[in-house]
Amino acid sequence: MAILSILKFPDPRLHKVAKPVTAVDERVRQLVADMADTMYDANGVGLAATQVDIHERIVVVDVSEERDQLQVFINPEIIAQSLEKKEWEEGCLSVPEVYDIVTRPDRVRVRAMNLDGNWFELDCDELLAVCLQHEIDHLNGKVFVQHLSNLKQTRIKSKLKKQARAE
């Protein structure tokens, strides 16, 4: 079990666009295992490789109550989304102790590879849809606070800088 270090906003590395995974090999499977350990240890529901300073298109998610249904998405992409939008209160392991309302499509269809390197598609709604959109944003170099007003972003940056100085 390896717990990886999670980058904290406004670290500029969180804004790097992740590159596609070219082969699902043992290195990628180990990274997925380490990311899952890190996500569970931090009590998160999702983690993108970008958040642990690995700029490859890999996401792990577990939105189950029991925290025993890990889902892995390699090279995920949203291929369809509903016109209906929904507001959710989001948080992020890279933006500790900050939660705010973000409006996103209510449903999405995601295409990705699994740990065997096989492509699959999945229709998602509710928390899974929100989580995947949030994590795919990370892979594209975007943090959820960028969906908020400039004023809120400035306040969040100030709060996190103050927290970092106190640590």
Question: Tokens 């590159």 label which residue?
Answer: 19
On the CB side of 124, CA atoms within 13 Å amount to 28
Question: Tokens 């350990």 label which residue?
Answer: 37
Say if residue 55 carries a ligand binding annotation: no
Cα–Cα nearest to 108, from 55, 54, 61 = 61
The tokens for 80 are: 């369809």
Cα–Cα nearest to 61, from 118, 133, 109 = 133
What does the alpha-carbon distance between residue 88 and residue 105 come to, in Å, rounded to a whole number? 10
In the set 84, 90, 135, 167, the catalytic residue is 135
Say if residue 134 carries a ligand binding annotation: yes
Q: Tell me, yes or no, if 135 is annotated catalytic.
A: yes
Say if residue 92 carries a ligand binding annotation: yes
> Is the preceding omega at residue 12 within 30 degrees of 0, hence cis?
no
Annotated binding site for Fe cation: 92, 134, 138
Annotated binding site: 92, 134, 138
Task: Please identify every residue annotated as catalytic.
Answer: 135
